[in-house]
Amino acid sequence: MGRVRDLTGPPRRWARKTSLLLDAIRYRESVFALPFAYSGMFLAAEGLPGLWEFVWITAAMVSARTLGMAANRLIDRRIDARNPRTADRHLPAGLLGASDVAALTAASAAVFLAAAYMLNPLSLALAPAAAAWLILYPYTKRFTWASNLALGCALGIAPTAAWIGVTGEFAVVPIVLSLAVALWAGSFDILYHVQDREFYVRAGLHSVAQRFGVQTAFRLARAMDAGAAAALIAVGPLAGLAWPYYVGCAAAAAVLLDKHRRASPSDTASLGPSFLRTNAYVSTAVFAGTLAAVLS
């Protein structure tokens, strides 16, 4: 009898590659910033958004995050290979090829632009600039200590972008919310890259910790989180939100305080996986408060 061809091989390989790509971009961490985008969306709608607005804003936010993460992995693959903390990532370890991640980057950009097109003209007009920032910010670590702030700005786009996706126009409320997100995310990135300070010094790369030292990095991160909490509170009266919003802000502030209580300049092990999860608690608390307030 002739040899039976195994038709399960290609599907298995594609399933394996898809799993690796999702793992490489840390898709589970979409929950970190997506709730802030939803906060902007629900505030803009002053309640429940339309179904298609919800669908296309979700598609835009998920694809934007995927674009940023995939581009980051691709652009920084040689740096990651030299850094002991990141040498086991998918590209340096050979689990994925550069062409795999490049294809994901291109596909994510296409979905992002298509989602912006489906929302409104202003969303589409601003989408290329947002995509460019998401792609280019990884380069900032090569020439400026403000690279951590650039990451914060990249994530801070989300609430205002979601607001524009609903209303088709700018407003003060989402800009203040975006400021809070940018400060919060930038603070987190400053602390996260404390782990890489010595490698950055050797490699000629730049971060707040590399430029100003670990102690100053922690002080700046605390100040930025205080600014983020203040900006979050300011959104309440600007948007005329009821008391549940402030409960969400209080819960987020408590998480931020606990983050700084547990993080220590002398113990980088405190910046591990449990530290990463504080992102989800902050954004989820704010979104829960926002949702309860706009629906009350």
CA distances (Å), 201 to each of 144, 191, 210, 212, in order? Answer: 13, 16, 6, 11
Give residue 12's pLDDT. Answer: 75
Residue reference for tokens 């910033």:
33
Q: Distance from CA of residue 265 to its chain's centroid?
A: 24
Angle at 48 between CA 43 and CA 54, to 5 degrees: 90
User: What letters, b where the CB count within 10 A reaches 16 and e where it falls short, cover 151-170?
Assistant: bbbbbbbbbbbbbbbbbeee
CA distances (Å), 2 to each of 5, 10, 28, in order? Answer: 9, 20, 45
Give residue 197's pLDDT. Answer: 93
Domain residue ranges of the chain, discontinuous segments joined by +: 33-295
Give residue 33's pLDDT. Answer: 82
Q: Which CATH class is domain 33-295?
A: mainly alpha
pTM of the complete model: 0.92
Provide the residue-wise pLDDT of the chain in tens; the chain has 296 residues. 445 454 456 677 778 878 888 888 887 666 678 999 999 999 999 999 999 999 999 999 999 999 999 999 999 999 999 999 999 999 999 999 999 999 999 999 999 999 999 999 999 999 999 999 999 999 999 999 999 999 999 999 999 999 999 999 999 999 999 999 999 999 999 998 999 999 999 999 999 999 999 999 999 999 999 999 999 999 999 999 999 999 999 999 999 998 888 887 877 766 766 677 788 899 999 999 999 999 98
Among 136, 152, 266, smallest CA distance to 208 is for 152
Query: What SS3 class is residue 143?
Result: coil
**Is 42 within 8 Å of 59 (Cβ atoms)?**
no
Q: Is 83 left (phi over 0), alpha (psi -120 to 50) or beta?
A: beta
Give residue 7's pLDDT. Answer: 46
